[in-house]
Amino acid sequence: MATVKLSAPASQWVGGRKSLGRGPSVRPSFRRVSVPVVRAGSYTHELVQTAKSIASPGHGILAIDESNATCGKRLASIGLDNTEANRQAYRQLLLTTRGLGEYISGAILFEETLYQSTTDGKKFVDCLHEEKIVPGIKVDKGLVPLPGSNNESWCQGLDGLASRCAEYYKQGARFAKWRTVVSIPSGPSALAIKEAAWGLARYAAIAQDNGLVPIVEPEILLDGDHPIERTLEVAEDVWAEVFYYLAQNNVVFEGILLKPSMVTPGAEHKDKASPETIAKFTLKLLHRRVPPAVPGIMFLSGGQSEVEATLNLNAMNQGPNPWHVSFSYARALQNTVLKTWQGLPENVEAAQKALLVRAKANSLAQLGCYSGEDENEEAKKGMFEKGYTY
């Protein structure tokens, strides 16, 4: 039970006693009123356990929750049409990789994938369970223009979210993801930051109320030529707002995961930061803004090359942290996999081996043990796309 301090009303009655004309002033007294705080209810214990299991040593998240349109772009890069059969074939390759659970503890799925099965009829959710990987689900409905802003966006999807989360839970999902973005070249405006923070907080509260651990993801886009100091300044403003509204919405911090951007210079900045510099600025942000009650920080790669994302994560794990500092990568786990596969059945085994290589590399980085040796040139290629949509 929380307590709230209430001031006495302005009247002749002060502290329950009548004021006597112009006599000595009497300081108003305060009374404590018990106000019930509603939290995640019957799911609280399960939420905390799910978050802990995902944030386990040497493990991170495989993000394969690209929309059908974005997945189509990936398939087009290897000459495949954007059909449900091709999307299913690619995701089957990823989700049936034997041994993946040694490095991956959670997989974020798109709604289509959550309900799909392999060509042999096994549900993808069951494939994940066999590897002890927790299924997750993307629940936002994408970005749209934010009226009154500097050409910025807001994330839609709160309407009907509770019923969708309840259905996803029945289908086997145990955590959720909601991605909103903040653009530094666009300001960002106070309106855009507040909208991003409030939307994330409402989503998180609704997800927890329906048994799903919410991944909270306000992505600071890499677009721009700003220095790393500017990224840190904006990120601090964003995360201050996010945690303020999370608290206002009574979100259980022990039952959430964060998916932030690393603090880097803008992609078009003239100077490239070292992994050590990125780690220094990113950890500074986390220590200033993230309560230690939060179990896991699962970084997004945001267009970094596969090797860059791994080296930066490794640099952040060279000393003890109050949270599990790990990864939730999409392109930084899949780029080499996709190019190895090329849509050919005879390449599936080689592509799965490539996935295990990247998953193991990031597992080692989470433990602070990644060396970067023997990486191929493909893994070193950057994947930044200006104005990237998911």
For the chain, which domains are there? 43-370 (3.20.20.70)
Output the pLDDT for position 389.
57
Buried b (16+ CB within 10 A) or exposed e, 215-228: bbbbbbbbbbebeb
Catalytic residues: 217, 259
pLDDT at 52 over 80: yes
pLDDT mean over 148-170 = 96
pLDDT mean over 199-227 = 95
pLDDT digits (tens, 9 = 90+) for 108-124: 999 999 999 999 999 99
Would you give the distance in Å from CA 48 to the centre of its chain? Answer: 16
Between β-strands 17-18 and 13-14, what pairing exists: parallel, antiparallel or unpaired?
antiparallel
pLDDT at 17 over 70: no
Whole-structure pTM value:
0.86
pLDDT at 79 over 50: yes
pLDDT mean over 218-230 = 92
272: Cβ contacts below 8 Å, ≥ 6 apart: 265
| Mean pLDDT computed over every residue of the chain | 89
311: Cβ contacts below 8 Å, ≥ 6 apart: 275, 365, 370, 372
N-terminal to C-terminal alpha carbon distance within the chain:
41
Helix/strand/coil percent split, the chain, to 5: 45, 15, 40
CA–CA distance, 9 with 279 (Å, rounded to integer): 51
